[in-house]
Amino acid sequence: MNNIDVLLIEDDADLQLAVLQTLKLEKINTLGVSSVEEAQKYLIDFEHHGIIVTDMRLPGVSGTEFQRKINIAYPDLPVIIITGHGDIETAVKAIQSGAYDFIQKPFSAQQIINTVRRALDKRRLIQEVYELRRKLVDANSLDNKIIGNSISTLEIKEKIKFIAGTPANVTICGETGTGKQLLAQCIHEHSGRKGPFVAINCAALPESLFDSEIFGHEIGAFPGATTQRIGKLEYAHNGTLFFDKIESMPLFSQIKLLRFLQEKKIERLGSNEQISLNVRVISSSKEDLFLLAEQGKFRGDLNYRLNVINIKVPPLRDRVEDIPLLFAVFVNKAADDLKRPLPEIKEHKLHQLMTLPWLGNVRELRNEAERFVLGITEPVFIKADNNLSLQQRVEEYERGLIVSEMKHSNGNLTQTAKKLNIAKSTLFDKMKKYKI
C-alpha cells in the first residue's frame, strides 16, 4: 500500500477496470475494490499522500455514508464521489459535508484524470505544510521532555513528531504515572496550534457540572448563574482539550461529547446560538476502552471518535533501559529544586532500581530521586504484594522528609519547620502523629 495514490471503490467491474487503466496510463498508482467493506481493510495502511474515489451507490455501506465517516476521521483525506443517477442535489450535499468533488456518469477519461490530479495536488500540499511545521519544531525539544532511549520510547517520540501537526484526535493509554499528560502536552506544543492546552480531570468532574464546565452557560441558565461562563471547549478554541481519565466520564456525558466531536459546534447552557470551534481532543485512559465498550461501560462510537490515533505507553518495568537516564535527570532536578548537593549515583544503585516493579511508574521513580537527594535510605519501594493504601504511602513519604530535615538541622525544630515551609505547631502535630 505504500505506493498507492488512489483507492477506487466501484462495484461495476467494467467501469472499475476502465478507471484503473486510465489512471495507470497516467502513472497514477490505483487500487480497485468493489465495496466499502473491502476498502476498510486498507485504510489503516493507506499511505498519507493518497486519495479516495468512490461510487455514491454501493452494495452494503453506501459511498456517501463512507465519505462522511472518512471526513470525520481523516478530515484532510480528499474523497471524490462518482454518481451515475443524475442526483446533483445529493452530490452537492456530499461536498457540503466534506467531499472534495463529484463526477457524474458518464464521464470522459480526461475528467477523471483532471479531478484526481487536483485532489492529489491538494493532498500533497497539506502534507508538505505538516512536514514543514514538523521541521520548524526543534528536533531535540522532545528529548528534553520525553526521556529515554528504549525502542518503545523512541517510537513514541517519532509518532508524536509525525502526528502532532495533524488535527486527528488522539487517545493515550497507559498505567498511572507513565506520563500520559506529558505526552499530550508535547503533542500540543508540536502541533503549531495557537490556542491553549486545556486539561480536565474526568474523574474529578461531577456529572451535574459537566454541561457548565465543558460547554459553558449564560446568565440565568440555572439558579445561581449570575455571570456568563466560557466552557472548557470554547476556551480551548484553536488549541487542544485534554480529557484525563476519560474512562471515568459518565455514559450520559459521553453522549454530549460525542455530539460535539461529530458537529464541532456547541451551545452554552441557556443559549440557542451554535458556536463553531476548532479544538483538537486528546484523551487518556488507564483502562482498555475497547474492552470497556464491549462490557457496556464506555460508548463504542465515542471510542472510535477519540481513538483515531492511539498511543500506548508501556509501564516503566517494561522499559528498564530508560531508568538510569530518567533517574539521573530526576536527581539533578531534585538537587536543584531542594538546594542540595548533587549526590553520586553508584552503579549498584542503578542495578537496584532496574530490578524493582515500579507500580507507580515514572512518578514513583521521580519520588525516589527526591528521597535519594535528601539522603533518605530507608527502603519504601512498593512491591507487588504490598497492601499499603495511598494515604499510608503518603504518610510514609512525609515522615521520611521530616526525619531527613531534622537530621540536616541537627534537631533544630525552628529550622526544620522553616525548611519544610510549615508552621512550627504543624511540625509538632506531625511529629506526634508519626511518633518521631
Q: Between these two residues, 222 and 305, which has the higher pLDDT value?
A: 305
Q: Between these two residues, 254 and 395, which has the higher pLDDT value?
A: 254
Whether residue 174 is predicted with pLDDT greater than 90 in this model: the reply is yes
Residues 417, 427 contacting (CB under 8 angstroms):
yes
Q: Between these two residues, 10 and 412, which has the higher pLDDT value?
A: 10
The alpha carbon of 318 is separated from its chain's Cα centroid by a whole number of angstroms, namely 21
- Spatial distance between the Cα atoms of 242 and 220, rounded to a whole number of angstroms: 29
Q: Provide the pLDDT for residue 97.
A: 78
- Spatial distance between the Cα atoms of 276 and 291, rounded to a whole number of angstroms: 33
CA atoms within 13 A of residue 405's CA, in its CB half-sphere: 22
Closest CA to 284 of 221, 201, 367: 201
pTM of the model: 0.58
Q: What are the extents of the domains in the chain?
A: 6-134, 141-314, 317-433
Q: What percent of the chain has pLDDT over 90?
A: 39
CATH class in words for 141-314? alpha beta
Q: How confident is the model at residue 64 (pLDDT cuts 50, 70, 90)?
A: confident
Q: Provide the pLDDT for residue 298.
A: 94
Q: Provide the pLDDT for residue 389.
A: 65
Q: How confident is the model at residue 396 (pLDDT cuts 50, 70, 90)?
A: low
Terminal C-alpha separation, the chain: 67
Q: Provide the pLDDT for residue 385.
A: 39
Q: Does domain 6-134 have CATH number 3.30.365.10?
A: no
The phi, psi pair for 310, rounded to 5°, reads -120, 130
Q: Provide the pLDDT for residue 1.
A: 53
Q: Provide the pLDDT for residue 112.
A: 92
User: What is the residue whose three cell numbers read 462518482?
Assistant: 82
Give the mean pLDDT of the chain. Answer: 85
Q: Between these two residues, 284 and 428, which has the higher pLDDT value?
A: 284
Tell me the per-residue pLDDT of 284-338, one tens digit each, with 9 for 90 and over: 999 999 999 999 999 999 999 999 999 999 999 888 888 888 998 899 889 889 8
Q: How confident is the model at residue 169 (pLDDT cuts 50, 70, 90)?
A: very high
Q: Provide the pLDDT for residue 138.
A: 54
Grid cell of 233 as nine digits: 471547549
Preceding peptide of 341 cis, ω within 30°? no
How many angstroms separate the Cα of 195 from the Cα of each of 32, 104, 233, 404? 41, 41, 11, 44
Are 6-134 and 141-314 equal in CATH topology?
yes
